[in-house]
């Protein structure tokens, strides 16, 4: 398989792990025009400094509970006409929180603890339906045969430790961060490409961190790929797209 073979089978990638800025720059390293559905107010700004010569090709709108309907309008316009080569959502965590806050802000009756508005089943339903709808629309847009595009979903992960009755650590389980666990599991099941980002500190004093992307599960870091690419990429001093392109063009 050559990289050019992806023209009609565009990438749909769930990126997870850390650090945040390294994930974002890796996504933006893909060539062509980018559009970002931005829910994290600081998500893209630290990464933009790495691409001063491509600022005219990177577009984004920041969506919050007060203008969430505009994200839906933007998606509808993209379905009618998509000029972008890459579309991403930054991120699942902040998008979920934004949609839950939207649900709280529009509810007529909300449970209160003091002055704090407490989310209930309705708000978790808003998060689930909104994020699944946005992600599914991006998936369909990506698979469009006339104008395919790459789709990247950025996500955070959390670890849950499981102990035996006597207090012994049995295992550490990792999952995507979202308001509802069912949403996280459904989203993970939709992606064949799940790439895990990790920063690794050296045991040697003074030696800098290394940054890697895993495409196969390593320990509790769930990852997967259907592509003929290495099980890991070292992106400490490289853009991910360059390493990915190199690997694909070797096949």
Question: What's the CA dihedral at 98, 100, 101, 106 to 10 degrees?
Answer: 130
Nearest to 212 by CA among 11, 17, 28: 17
Total residues belonging to the chain:
251
**pLDDT string in tens for the chain (251-residue length):** 455 555 445 889 999 888 888 899 999 999 999 999 999 887 788 788 888 888 899 999 999 999 999 999 999 999 999 999 999 999 999 999 999 999 999 988 888 889 888 888 999 999 999 999 999 999 999 998 888 999 999 998 877 777 778 877 766 677 788 876 778 888 888 899 999 999 877 556 667 889 999 999 877 788 999 999 999 999 999 999 999 999 988 75
Beta bridge partners of 57: none
Euclidean distance between CA atoms 131 and 151, whole angstroms: 14
- Spell out where 26-149 has E strands: 34-38, 58-62, 86-90, 111-113, 116-118
pLDDT at site 94: 92
Q: What six digits make up the tokens of 35?
A: 């559009």
Contact between 154 and 23 (Cβ < 8 Å): yes
Nearest to 9 by CA among 143, 103, 203, 136: 143
Q: What is the pTM of this model?
A: 0.88
Contact between 223 and 215 (Cβ < 8 Å): yes
Residue 67, classed as helix, strand or coil, is helix
Dihedral of alpha carbons 57, 191, 188, 239, sign: negative
**Architecture of 3-249 per CATH?**
3-Layer(aba) Sandwich (3.40)
157-163 and 169-176 strand pairing:
antiparallel
Peptide bond into 135 cis (omega under 30): no
Euclidean distance between CA atoms 8 and 144, whole angstroms: 8
Euclidean distance between CA atoms 237 and 227, whole angstroms: 23
């Amino acid at each position: 398989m050559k990289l050019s073979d992806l023209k009609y089978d565009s990438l749909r990638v769930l990126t997870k792990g850390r650090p945040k800025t390294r994930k974002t720059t890796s996504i933006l390293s893909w060539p062509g025009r980018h559009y970002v559905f931005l829910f994290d107010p600081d998500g893209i700004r630290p990464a933009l400094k790495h691409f001063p010569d491509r600022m005219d090709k990177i577009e984004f709108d920041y969506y919050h509970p007060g203008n969430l309907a505009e994200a839906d309008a933007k998606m509808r316009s993209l379905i009618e006409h998509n000029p972008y080569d890459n579309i991403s959502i930054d991120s699942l965590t902040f998008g979920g929180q934004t949609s839950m806050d939207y649900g709280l802000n529009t509810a007529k009756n909300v449970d209160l603890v003091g002055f704090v508005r407490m989310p209930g089943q309705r708000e978790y339903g808003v998060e689930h339906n909104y994020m699944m709808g946005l992600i599914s629309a991006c998936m369909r847009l990506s698979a469009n045969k006339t104008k395919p595009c790459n789709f990247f979903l950025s996500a955070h992960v959390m670890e849950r430790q499981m102990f035996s009755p006597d207090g012994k650590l049995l295992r550490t389980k990792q999952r995507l961060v979202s308001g509802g666990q069912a949403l996280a599991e459904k989203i993970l099941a939709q992606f064949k490409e799940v790439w895990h980002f990790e920063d690794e500190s050296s045991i040697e004093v003074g030696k800098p961190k290394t940054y890697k992307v895993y495409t196969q599960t390593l320990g509790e870091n769930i990852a997967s790929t259907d592509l003929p690419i290495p099980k890991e990429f070292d992106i400490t001093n490289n853009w991910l797209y360059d390493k990915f392109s190199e690997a694909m063009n070797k096949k």
